[in-house]
Structure 1
Amino acid sequence: MWKILSTFKENLIWSVPGFMIAGIIFGGLLDASFLKVTIVPLTFLMVYPMMINLQIAKVFAGGDFKLQAVTQLINFAIVPFFAFGIGKLFFHDSPLVLLGLLLTSLLPTSGMTISWTGFAKGNLNAAIKMTVIGLIAGSLATPLYAKFLMGAVVEIPLVDVFKQIVIIVFLPMILGFVTKKILIATVGENKYNKNLKQKFPVFSTIGVLGIVFVAMALKAKTILGNPLTVLSFFIPLLIIYGGNFLLSTLIGKFFFNREDAIALVYGTVMRNLSIALAIAITVFGSEKGSEIALIIAMGYIIQVQSAAWYVKLTDKIFGTPLEPLPE
């Protein structure tokens, strides 16, 4: 069973669309309304495990202020407005879909930011710091951006959004911190790092796939009634991710060294789609939330695929990493 779950995690490019299709089939054949009760536990399962490994202390390590400042400038002063503009162009008559696109752009970085930076031999410490800062800043900024940009066309329950962010981000963050401390005190830091640390992301993956399945099942009849509309979501997503990759690559190449540039790219292009899904489903209810979640779920497909290809191209773009000098 553990091997199967690990396979799902390592192959999100296939498992996410697979669970999307399974949810659509399930919801098309059966009444999926009973699945609404699974949303809260699946949300917690999705977010809590990823918080256990969050290295909050890295935020206070200095030495890379310029890199961190540029990263968050891209994340909060450029990407949300670019995504909103593309969304207005494609979804001016579908405000909930536009809101889903906006949510993906407002929550930068995820655990995959660190993983992909490591695969590409980038600056891991900087990537960890970007992940923590992006998660906290994005969680606090999302309700305000959503209200400012979408409040005229979609009712944004500002207080409810903040409440849900406390429940699905900050409470799991505190519980994750406490859990990590207890586990290290119980089994020791070496055993924790060797045997336990890598298992938690698998549980988060179960939550992600579960939420994707439920969201698709609840929206299945709408999707089956208009499948071409759903497929058209790929075009704006490709434009947003492509534009983001291009901008971050150019800034990284001309203003930072290889390792910092790689961290910059993955710290600005990777979005925390899990948190975006959780907000969509818990704040806006199963009906509206499922419509919002549809484009967020499709973002997984493009995000994982593009991140994997970018690793293959990294050496061509930034050059090969310098070998450490012999001692």
Structure 2
Amino acid sequence: MLNRTNAFLQHWMPYLTPISVVLGVTIFSSLSSISYVVKWVFAFISFASCIGLNVKELRTTLTKPLPVIIGMLIIQGVLPFIAFVVGKALFNDDPYIIIGFVLAFTIPTGVITLMWVSIYGGNRAVTLAIILVNTLLSPILVPFTLNILVGAQVEMDIAGLMIGLLIMVVIPSLLGLLANQLLKNKHTSILSSKLAPFSKMAIFLVILINSAVVAPFFKQMDGKTIILAIIVFLMACFAYVTGFVIAKLFKWDDSVAISLMYNSGMRNTGVGAALAVSYFPASVAFPTVTAVLFQQFLASMAGKIISKYVEKKQKKIVLLQRNNIIMTKQKTF
């Protein structure tokens, strides 16, 4: 029963996440009164997500760590800076929107990235390494990046941000990894499969609550909010392209390129919205909650596009090999 429920939620996630946003903005807008529970719900999500990770896969990245390093530079350096430049150029009169825009592309990549990478043939070891490094360093990197880019504009609770990330992401993730190592593989997989559907339900609850908090901004849609939503969407598309193109510039194989594409394009939007709601005015959460609307849809579309690219590439290689064989036979005769 739990496995069927998990499969159902996983299959329909690209559609259920935007539906959750709509429900949070409309029918369940009163859930904003319990926004304080979000960090604890997300702590459970982090624990449940990490308990099923196969840490042994990391061994293959130890000898060749460059893709992980480049991935981290893209996630925590290149994209936040571009987000700041774009936000500053378009919303210079609203520092909180700029913070929200930068935060949306500064928060760490999520464990759900591993699911999409696995579906579309990416490198799991590289992805897992980036997720773990990004997660464990997030209490330092996220506040540091925000402080460097937008700290001069608005006073921020840096200590609060660090504590929030520790509670929501780092500590429960470490506990999940510890449980993973202490339990035998069989018990780990059983526990992980039992927690998986509840973890996904918890994600939808977080989305509902965070959407309820920013409901006033959705209900008072104007030209500015529409433009912001479009810019967030375009920036997310750009992030996917950036990860893939940079991987190809380094001449890495398609599996590594797919991994960098997803790690660059997908962010832990639940954490971002929770941080925004907990430590900033509600308007800061708007860009991150907007990203929730299309994140899973974009992940699905990116996978389909890249699958066609890889398929065409493989067909060209096969055709080239056949032509070479034919030419070799002709020369022989």
**Which sits farther off after the overlay, 300-309 or 215-224?**
215-224
Change (3 A) 1:46 1:97: farther
2:252 is aligned, of 256, 259, 264, to 256
**Which sits farther off after the overlay, 68-77 or 38-47?**
38-47
Please give the residue correspondences for 1:36-115 in structure 2 after superposition, counting only pairs within 5 Å.
36-55=35-54, 58-59=57-58, 61-115=61-115
Match of 1:16 in 2: 17
Cα distance in 2, alignment partners of residues 221 and 278 from structure 1: 17
* Post-superposition CA distance 1:131-168 (Å, at most 9, x none): 11222233321101111211122221112211222222
Q: Is the 8 A contact 1:46 1:274 kept in 2?
A: no
1:271 is aligned, of 267, 270, 279, to 267
**Which sits farther off after the overlay, 268-277 or 143-152?**
268-277
Deviation at 1:277, TM superposition (A): 2.3
Change (3 A) 1:161 1:25: same
Cα distance in 2, alignment partners of residues 237 and 123 from structure 1: 27
* Post-superposition CA distance 1:271-300 (Å, at most 9, x none): 12222223223333xxx2x43223212212
Deviation at 1:315, TM superposition (A): 3.7
1:303 is aligned, of 287, 295, 301, to 295
Match of 1:219 in 2: 214
Cα distance in 1, alignment partners of residues 245 and 93 from structure 2: 34
TM norm structure 1 = 0.83
Cα distance in 1, alignment partners of residues 258 and 96 from structure 2: 33
Deviation at 1:256, TM superposition (A): 0.9
Deviation at 1:238, TM superposition (A): 2.3
Cα distance in 1, alignment partners of residues 285 and 202 from structure 2: 14
The aligned amino acid for 2:269 is L
**Which sits farther off after the overlay, 212-221 or 16-25?**
212-221
Change (3 A) 1:4 1:123: closer
The aligned amino acid for 1:294 is F
The aligned amino acid for 1:102 is V
Cα distance in 2, alignment partners of residues 221 and 104 from structure 1: 19
Cα distance in 2, alignment partners of residues 320 and 119 from structure 1: 18
Match of 2:331 in 1: none
* Post-superposition CA distance 1:37-86 (Å, at most 9, x none): 43343333333322323455655651222222222222223111011112
2:192 is aligned, of 190, 193, 197, to 197
- What is the percentage of aligned positions where both structures have the same residue? 19
Secondary structure at the aligned position of 1:237 is classed as: helix
The aligned amino acid for 1:132 is L
Deviation at 1:17, TM superposition (A): 1.7
Cα distance in 2, alignment partners of residues 33 and 78 from structure 1: 33
Whether 1:294 and 2:295 are equivalent positions in the alignment is: no
Whether 1:244 and 2:239 are equivalent positions in the alignment is: yes
Cα distance in 1, alignment partners of residues 46 and 31 from structure 2: 23
Deviation at 1:211, TM superposition (A): 2.1
Q: Is the 8 A contact 2:51 2:188 kept in 1?
A: no
Secondary structure at the aligned position of 2:16 is classed as: helix
Q: Is the 8 A contact 2:103 2:272 kept in 1?
A: yes
Q: Give the number of equivalent residue pairs.
A: 312
Change (3 A) 1:191 1:257: same
Secondary structure at the aligned position of 1:122 is classed as: coil
Q: Is the 8 A contact 1:237 1:299 kept in 2?
A: yes
* Post-superposition CA distance 1:256-281 (Å, at most 9, x none): 11222222212222212222223223
Deviation at 1:5, TM superposition (A): 6.1
Match of 2:323 in 1: none
Note the residue ranges of structure 1 that are not aligned, 5 or more in a row: none
What root-mean-square deviation, in Å, do the aligned CA atoms of Structure 1 and Structure 2 show? Answer: 2.8
